[in-house]
Structure 1
Amino acid sequence: MATFVDGPVRVSVPATSANLGPGFDSLGLAVSLRDELEAEAVGEGLLVEVEGAGADGVPRDETHLVVRAMRAAFDLMGEQPSGLRLSCRNRIPHARGLGSSSAAIVAGVVLARGLVAGGQLLASDEALLDLAADLEGHPDNVAPAFLGGFVISGREDDRWFAVRAGVDPRITAVAFVPPTGVETTIARGLLPANVPHADAAANSGRAALLVAALTGQPEHLLAATRDWLHQDQREPAMPETLALVRRLRADGVPAVVSGAGPTVLAFGTTDTSSLRARCPDGWECHDLVIESQGAALLT
């Protein structure tokens, strides 16, 4: 039987940008917007408090995504607390392609393990990452949210895998966040069931080049971030996003749709002031650094 620790447990989880152009459902990067959450096992009931991004639109009951992830992790460890208090301070924009749902899932499983005495023995990192990817349905955001840095992930023999790679320290990034979001299910619904073999081959080559570019040869980022599989296909749901991507790329800026969009992620290797000046009216601009640390318990 699990024993729950006294007092609250706190966690910080980074935003993530997945796909990065050609790395559809396989490449992801942790970036420097972080949600901070606190949870505590209590005598009875459920209390959910939320402030910041998305606070007006998320439930405060068992359907809250962090709570659902915590419940799944508690089941994995064999015990549910009698009551639960959860407090969320959100900085990651919702429905913008910056991994807010993955951050919630990762935060939930890490908080749950932290609340159980000896949780590391009951739920390994590998088990929690598997659980988080199962809950999300794909690993490209949950893996960097959990591990930090640049991660190549996927599925092999009915198991998820995630491999970290280094990021060249010269690389910087800017996120251009539009005022309205697009639900991932809508963006995924626009993708065709089949793609031409030539497009798949071209994408494979650019994804391989992107790993080389991010890990040590950023001069290849513009060519490496070209995509054939998903960005143009999603234009009906986010025309302003694709227009910005094309303007930036025409000027030599390696720009991509972040995740399922509609945020635009632009890479640089120098001062980002010139990139920030390209932010459309009404959009938010965030200077980002690559976060080497993933989900971390706070002391």
Structure 2
Amino acid sequence: MIKVRVPATSANIGPGFDCLGLALNLYNVFSFEEIDKGLQFEGCDAEFANEDNLIYCSMKRCFEKIGYEARGIKIKIENEIPVSRGLGSSASCIVGGIIGANEIAGGVLTREEILELATEVEGHPDNVAPALLGGMIVAIKEDNHVFCSKISISDGLKFYTLIPDFRLSTEESRSVLPKTIDYKDGVFNVGRVSLLIAALTNGDFDLLRVASADRLHQSYRGKLIEGFDDIKKKCEDLGCLGVFLSGAGPTITVLDKDGNNKFYGEINSFLSILSNEWEVKSLDIDLEGARVL
């Protein structure tokens, strides 16, 4: 049996729309076994236990690329990453499925080839790249090739995820985005994402609140999340370094100085009075990425 662990991811990081993402120490674990025939699932809701399952579809894409014919497949799923919350659940399934299939087929594909294939399945690399490689990643796709580089973040940051009890699909989140943007908004985001990367690398954390501002997606997607503006303001009032949507939402990611224990309790108290249920997780960046256990 082959066991693959894949971390959660938080993409965009404010202004880094569709190009920035980081891995967090929250994991899905997938176990794979080639069996005599058929397709079996364990730890999966019945509605997803079929050939349309994203993990299995990703495995098939990998087998097709390699030219391997599996007799049958058994997949066991142990989920920590919540589904449709903006924490890379789909990316974890894609990366886990491809790595599992590659291992069954004898480890034919390189890490770079796995990333290319995962991006083909996902459509863009901002979640699959950090899920596979760990850390914080800048990744773009051009002419069907993925170009990426890992950012070395200075020590001293703490990550919080504020996870609501409702889901928000990527399709719905993308449907509210404008077809075109003003030139000044493009310039605004180019400046912020450049400052964000420099501040994280150099440890200039006091710049993060300004650097994590965005004009491309958050103001549109925030309207789909009840209480988003109030939560964002409360986090800022509590002195956090930066606050932004995780991926397409509805999870909100917060950056704070490591060792500031006051934030966790106070934001929990604030969220408890809202109409929806929210769970606050204190997380660290995962530097390792997906790995075979």
Relative to the length of structure 1, the TM-score reads 0.92
Residue 208 of structure 1 corresponds to which residue in structure 2?
194
Instruction: Report if the CA contact (8 A) 2:13-2:245 is conserved.
Output: yes
Question: In the TM superposition, what is the alpha-carbon distance from 1:213 to its structure 2 partner?
Answer: 1.8
1:4-19 maps to which residues of 2 (within 5 A)? Answer: 8-19=1-12
* Residue 26 of structure 2, aligned match among 25, 33, 37: 33
Question: In the TM superposition, what is the alpha-carbon distance from 1:230 to its structure 2 partner?
Answer: 0.4
Residue 226 of structure 1 corresponds to which residue in structure 2?
213
Q: Does 1:68 align with 2:57?
A: yes
Question: In the TM superposition, what is the alpha-carbon distance from 1:272 to its structure 2 partner?
Answer: 4.5
In structure 2, runs of 5+ residues without a counterpart are none
Cα pair distance change 1:102/1:272, threshold 3 Å:
farther
Q: Does 1:88 align with 2:83?
A: no
Secondary structure of the structure 2 residue equivalent to 1:235: helix
After TM superposition, the runs of 4+ consecutive aligned structure 1 residues lying more than 6 A away are none
Instruction: Report if the CA contact (8 A) 1:272-1:287 is conserved.
Output: no
Residue 42 of structure 1 corresponds to which residue in structure 2?
35
Question: In the TM superposition, what is the alpha-carbon distance from 1:115 to its structure 2 partner?
Answer: 1.1
* Residue 127 of structure 2, aligned match among 120, 127, 141: 141
Secondary structure of the structure 1 residue equivalent to 2:48: coil
Residues 1-22 of structure 1, C-alpha deviations (whole Å, 9 max, x = no match): xxxxxxx100100000000100
* Residue 23 of structure 1, aligned match among 16, 20, 26: 16
1:176-255 maps to which residues of 2 (within 5 A)? Answer: 176-217=162-203, 218-253=205-240, 254-255=242-243
Instruction: Report if the CA contact (8 A) 1:58-1:64 is conserved.
Output: no
Residue 165 of structure 1 corresponds to which residue in structure 2?
151
Residue 256 of structure 1 corresponds to which residue in structure 2?
244
In 2, Cα distance between equivalents of 1:248 and 1:178 = 15
Cα pair distance change 1:251/1:275, threshold 3 Å:
closer
Count of equivalent residues? 284
Question: In the TM superposition, what is the alpha-carbon distance from 1:58 to its structure 2 partner?
Answer: 5.2
In structure 1, runs of 5+ residues without a counterpart are 1-7
In 2, Cα distance between equivalents of 1:179 and 1:156 = 36
Residue 273 of structure 1 corresponds to which residue in structure 2?
261
Question: In the TM superposition, what is the alpha-carbon distance from 1:275 to its structure 2 partner?
Answer: 2.1
Percent of residue pairs identical: 35
User: RMSD over aligned Cα, in angstroms?
Assistant: 1.4
In 2, Cα distance between equivalents of 1:28 and 1:242 = 22
Amino acid at match of 2:263: L
Cα pair distance change 1:58/1:287, threshold 3 Å:
farther
In 1, Cα distance between equivalents of 2:6 and 2:136 = 15
In 2, Cα distance between equivalents of 1:188 and 1:114 = 34
Relative to the length of structure 2, the TM-score reads 0.93
